Amino acid sequence: MSRAAGVRLKFERSRHHTAQLERAIHDYLEQQPFAVYETEEEETGDLVYRVKVRKTPPTELSLLLGDAIHNARAALDYLAWQLVIAGGGIPGTLTAFPISKSEKEFNKSYQAKLKGSSQEALAAVQALRPFSGGDERFWRLHGLDIEDKHHLLVAVGAAHRSVNVSFEVPGIEPVVLPLNPSDRAYPLRDGTEVFRVMRAARESAEQGVGGANSFDFEVAFGEAGIVSGEPIIPTLSDLITGVESAVAPLFALLE
């Protein structure tokens, strides 16, 4: 097996876990774990839609998420190991793919982590700018992997991905508009407000304008994380695919 093939296999394993995760999220959402009920706000007359969490995301989602992230990060370290071998060096305990929280820190440490690799390889890795403030995909992947080492990357239900507002006017075919909220309620808890119909709009509806509303939900990264509140799919898929594509030119240096 070639050196590059080993790196690709680790990325492939990461994509496999991501596909498993996507199916598991789909199965979870198919169970309709969130219900929406409406209440009239006494002081304003607004109609407020709130969520009832029937079932929290299963732990399996966090485990699959961690596996996908760790395999992608491990692929980078395996790549670093192979770059050192291809350069005639001997990998050691410090060998790793350099990812840092700043450009200054990266410039201080990347050569030590790739000690033994060729100058061409060092220049190529430096050009990737794998640090916060550079190519953020590397920093996000690295940060998520560190989080997962200390606790489960708990996946929680994010607020409505969209609110499907139906407008009905006598004599006209109903129109449904999907609205993406600018401020998603996150994380979802029992009683969280997900939509509000102002009193004036309610009065218009009573005159024949308005209709039923429906809500779409998604599963998101846990609180206080580097991608807190972002939808797991497609955020994770885009992150892993992007990092793999960025390092692909380095494979030529392994031959």
Mean pLDDT of 178-188: 61
Identify residue 248 by its one-letter amino acid code.
A
Considering the domain boundaries, does residue 207 fall inside one?
no
Choice between 245 and 211, residue whose per-residue pLDDT is larger: 245
User: What's the total number of domains in the chain?
Assistant: 1
Choice between 139 and 209, residue whose per-residue pLDDT is larger: 139
Give the C-alpha separation, 183 to 252, whole Å.
45
Give the pLDDT confidence score for residue 208 in this predicted structure. Answer: 46
Mean pLDDT of 191-214: 68
Give the C-alpha separation, 198 to 50, whole Å.
14
Give the pLDDT confidence score for residue 158 in this predicted structure. Answer: 58
Residue 234, preceding bond cis, omega within 30 degrees? yes
Give the pLDDT confidence score for residue 155 in this predicted structure. Answer: 62
Identify residue 221 by its one-letter amino acid code.
F
Question: What pTM did the predictor assign?
Answer: 0.85
Give the C-alpha separation, 172 to 174, whole Å.
6
Considering the domain boundaries, does residue 233 fall inside one?
yes
Considering the domain boundaries, does residue 180 fall inside one?
no
Considering the domain boundaries, does residue 14 fall inside one?
yes
Considering the domain boundaries, does residue 212 fall inside one?
no
Considering the domain boundaries, does residue 40 fall inside one?
no
Considering the domain boundaries, does residue 196 fall inside one?
no
- Summarised one tens digit per residue, pLDDT across range 33-74 is 988 898 888 898 888 888 899 998 888 998 999 999 999 999
Structural domain of 135: 3-33+58-153+227-254
- Summarised one tens digit per residue, pLDDT across range 59-116 is 899 899 999 999 999 999 999 999 999 999 999 999 999 999 999 999 999 999 999 9
Reading the block at residue 246, the tokens are: 């960025």
Over 50: is that where the pLDDT of 221 sits?
yes
Considering the domain boundaries, does residue 143 fall inside one?
yes
